[in-house]
Chains A and B, each alone.
Chain A
């Protein structure tokens, strides 16, 4: 009986891992250079970490992998983390809450059940959280960082779509909907249902109009938001600060020459966002997104700490990596063939070569010779080393390890010689 891979899971082959590490490396480098520090949280968390803040939808929570642990007699369930931000907020509260400002990033997997098994249930992402500041500049820093990572990975034609969770929520509450109804429609809007708002029957036709014009808003400039502000300043002054916040972000993006689209119906299905939400697309693929979540850490009992962050979706990004960039300079590889009687010498030169920066493959008896440029025969009589260069079809007879290293070094110094 052949044992199969779990439904909804996937393997990463050597070729895919090259892509994965390429994306991860670009992400980590950019984060470190922007002054972010790397952290990791455990795959397992208590279910109540995700239920306690009331910030994930029941629909989302019903798709978590939860189970009773070996000591779960109290009924306390564990989950494979379904989200990266909430565990990170917990990490912040548990470990580094004394830091006024924390710039943190992580790479990790998250797990969500998906019924058909066609899509992967384990997803990899890189996430960045900027904790302790509530400012438009912080939001813009995150957007710039995300765009820089995507540029380094070589993703072309990235689209940035902006929305504002606080503004959508504010409008919903002005419409006089119950908290439950607000949450339901907010979810629908964030899931991209443009009609959800239009369907609401409201006794505030002026707001209804504002809502429709908000929804039509796509690919415009701060000018529109300013018009909207003028409209609200009469009818619903409470919304003005929210529009101002949105305008601030948009103006800062203009100032640094960043392209964007305003699209209110772009969201992510997470209720913890309170301010600007941004999403990143490459064609139809959603490759990342994030936003401001000032209420999350307070809801978790971590004090009045604002935060915002984003995640980039590695599963999608690694497929968009151009093969050409992966083919970069390969390490120099050498095959070392040592007969049993000179095994000691063979292992010794292996070590020397590895320390000098070469990738060394050991010849296993009976193995077919792989297609490498360099083959080193280790012998028990003179010459002790015979180095074959299959590229230039040359053979060198050498007596010491030092001579081998020198010869390899000289050949590789010749920039025109491919690996």
Chain B
């Protein structure tokens, strides 16, 4: 009987690969530099593995696409706390990849203890990549009124100006975090776990595969090893401590982390805006920008529209795709597209497996009528995908949220992808084809629709937009 396992990329890959190598699985190609998604086992011919973003693993196992999976307990609990009846069995603590989630606040931002925060009358804003755990924690701590900002990353840079607290991972026992953040509550200790789909666990004989994992290499019990998640801490930067209260005339600018950093830097240079430490090798998310009365922070482009809507940033360089994703979820959100920056161009496309005998979305819909199963639509753009499926009457469909590398989902784990592509080459290489183009996306500058009351600030915002406009048109 075939057995399928979902394996993690990222932080747990090294030690998981060691474990499976010791177990003699003979998975060719599961290593740090792997570009392969599908792997076979030499020892167990029935066993096949697929490599996912770690956050995708519990979801894939819970919905039954995989019998087994390896991922951190943090991502398992993030799923279970919101969906307690998920078909997931925690089989075994694998012992490595240990860490803890902490609720942190800024010492200089005046956050001292959970009780103090709980007694506040205003809204407590919590930023996290773990929104479900953050909500559960806020309820358990009996915060009277709170807002959760779900994030794709970079939570540690939000407090104190953009959020009161962040729920972030750290080493076990860690007492100080980047940017002077201090833990006020420990939410969860985690390590890598082997998980199983509940039905598979109850009905499938996976004993040989499981037994092989019992011959574990003896892990040295020293702390270095047991707390093996590498958390790169930003070296303490000189300069003023961050204050929750930003001066009224200060412009808060959000710059993208990740692969849009270089083109963003090029644009800023053309506009005559000097910026230090960007792109940053040490992971500093608070670069110094050479503009008076402007502070810059690096956050994920995905998170920018929500942050601008909430007034945490005045300007942000993001992508039109993420603006649209945000507006599909919140049509009345007070953000606006100020300037097309003309770089980072991608097409947002609907993608199926090449062998599928259809050429457009009508064909896919027809196919849906003929088959009994509902469509699985995988995408990073949950709201764009949902609207696309709805508008095209795909009938009964489910959106499978993903955190990257969606092209590996077809055909076994999804029927349709909503993906971005520059050239279409990666898609073609993965034996996929485009059946529809939803829209074209480029980088853009966004801002809040509300009036800027402070005149100095209004002038500064205007001059940044103007400088960028000149740079874009001159290029």
Q: Which residues of A contact B (CB under 8 A)?
A: 1, 3, 48, 51-54, 58, 61-62, 68, 70-76, 115-117
CB-based contact B374/A75 at 8 Å:
no
Least CB separation from A50: chain B residue: B139
Q: Say whether B85 contacts A70, CB under 8 Å.
A: no
* B147 on interface, CB distance cutoff 8 Å: yes
Distance between A66 CB and nearest chain B CB, rounded to angstroms: 8
* B306: contacting residue among A62, A73, A115, CB under 8 A: A73
Cβ-defined contact, B332 with A70, below 8 A? yes
Determine whether the beta carbon of A75 is less than 8 Å from that of B147. yes
Are B374 and A71 within 8 A (Cβ)? Answer: no
Task: List the 8 closest A-B pairs by CB distance, nearest first.
Answer: A75-B147, A73-B330, A48-B145, A73-B309, A73-B333, A58-B140, A71-B332, A52-B144
Contact B372 A72 (CB under 8 A): no
Q: How far is the CB of A58 from chain B (nearest CB, A)?
A: 5
Give 15 pairs: A residue, B residue, CB < 8 Å, sorted on A.
A1-B372, A51-B143, A52-B144, A52-B145, A58-B139, A70-B329, A70-B330, A70-B332, A71-B333, A73-B309, A73-B329, A73-B334, A74-B147, A74-B310, A76-B147
Given A68-B329, A74-B310: A54 and B144 interface contact (C-beta under 8 Å) = yes
When distances are taken between beta carbons in the complex, the residues of chain B under 8 Å from A51 are 139, 142-146
Q: Which residues of A contact B329 (CB under 8 A)?
A: 68, 70, 73
> Which residues of chain B come closer than 8 Å to A72, judged between CB atoms?
330
Once bound together, how far apart are the Cα atoms of A131 and B395, in whole Å? 50
The verdict on B356 contacting chain A, using a C-beta distance below 8 Å, is no
Category for how many chain B residues contact A: 20 to 34
CB < 8 Å neighbour of B396 from A1, A68, A71, A73: A1
Whether B85 contacts A58 by the Cβ 8 Å rule is no
Interface centre among A53, A61, A75, A115 (most CB of B within 10 A): A75
Chain A residues positioned under 8 Å from B334 (CB to CB): 73
Residues in B lying within 8 Å of A, measured CB to CB: 81, 84-85, 123, 125, 136, 139-140, 142-149, 306, 309-310, 326, 329-334, 372, 374, 395-396
Residues of A within 8 A of B372 (CB): 1
- Chain B positions within 8 Å of A62 at CB level: 81, 136, 139
- B299 CB to closest chain A CB (Å) equals 16
Contacts of A74 in B (CB 8 A): 147, 309-310
- Let me know if B149 and A75 touch, CB within 8 A: yes
Could you tell me if A75 and B330 are in contact, using CB atoms closer than 8 angstroms? no
Residues on B with beta carbons closer than 8 Å to the beta carbon of A115: 84-85
**A75-B144 contact, Cβ under 8 Å, with A61-B139, A62-B136:** no
Interface of A is mostly: loop
Q: Could you tell me the distance in whole angstroms from the C-beta of A391 to the nearest C-beta in chain B?
A: 50
CB of A71 within 8 A of CB of B139, answer no
A48-B123, A71-B330 known; 19 new pairs, CB 8 Å cut-off, are A1-B372, A51-B142, A51-B143, A51-B144, A51-B146, A53-B144, A58-B139, A62-B136, A62-B139, A68-B329, A70-B330, A71-B331, A72-B330, A73-B330, A74-B310, A75-B125, A75-B147, A75-B310, A115-B85
Judged by DSSP, the binding face of B is loop
Shortest distance between the CB of B175 and any CB in chain A (Å): 24
Cβ of A58: which chain B residues have Cβ within 8 Å of it? 139-140, 142
Q: How far is the CA of A1 from the CA of B373 in the complex (A)?
A: 8
Considering only CB atoms, which chain B residue lies closest to A116 in the complex?
B85
Q: Give B373's nearest chain A residue, CB to CB.
A: A1
Within 8 Å CB of B139, what residues of A?
Answer: 51, 58, 61-62
Q: Which one of B144, B331, B333 lies within 8 Å of A48 (CB-CB)?
A: B144
Rounded to whole angstroms, the CA-CA distance of A115 and B85 in the bound complex is: 6
The residue of chain B having its C-beta at the shortest distance from the C-beta of A115 within the complex is: B85
B83 to chain A, nearest CB (A): 10
List the A side residues contacting B142 at CB < 8 Å.
51, 54, 58
Distance of B136 from chain A, by nearest CB (Å)? 6
Query: Which of chain B's residues has its CB closest to A183's CB?
Result: B142
- Select from chain B the residue with minimum beta-carbon distance to A71: B332
Q: Which residues of A contact B326 (CB under 8 A)?
A: 73
Cβ distance A296 to chain B, nearest Cβ, rounded Å: 14
Task: Give the residues in chain A near B136, CB-CB below 8 Å.
Answer: 62
Residue of A nearest to B137 (CB): A58
Give the distance in Å from the alpha carbon of A9 to the alpha carbon of B267 in the complex.
Answer: 55
Report how far A54 CA is from B144 CA in the complex, Å.
Answer: 7
- Chain B residues with Cβ below 8 Å from A76 are 147
Contacts of A52 in B (CB 8 A): 144-145
Q: Note all chain B residues with C-beta closer than 8 A to A61.
A: 139
In whole angstroms, how far apart are the Cα atoms of A368 and B332 in the complex?
A: 54
Question: Which residue of A has the minimal Cβ distance to B310?
Answer: A74
Q: Which residue of A lies closest to B145 (CB)?
A: A48
Query: How many whole Å from B329's CB to the nearest CB in chain A?
Result: 7
- Inter-chain CA distance A116–B148, complex, in Å, is 28
How far apart are A52's CB and chain B's nearest CB, in angstroms?
5
- Cβ-defined contact, A75 with B143, below 8 A: no
- In the complex, what residues of A have CB within 8 A of residue B140's CB? 58
A58 vs B306: C-alpha distance when bound (angstroms): 27
- List the A side residues contacting B310 at CB < 8 Å: 73-75
- Kindly provide the distance from the CB of B453 to the nearest chain A CB, expressed in whole angstroms: 19
With a cutoff of 8 Å between Cβ atoms, the chain A residues found around residue B145 in the complex are: 48, 51-52
Q: Nearest Cβ distance between residue B268 and chain A, in whole angstroms?
A: 28
Give the nearest-CB partner of B374 in chain A. A1
Q: Which residues of A lie under 8 Å from residue B81 when comparing CB positions?
A: 62
* Residue of chain B at shortest CB distance from A114: B85
Residue of A with least CB distance to B307:
A73
The complex places the Cα of A58 from the Cα of B149 at a distance, in Å, of: 20
Q: Which residues on B sit within 8 Å (CB–CB) of A70?
A: 329-332
| Contacting residues, chain A, for B374 (C-beta < 8 A) | 1
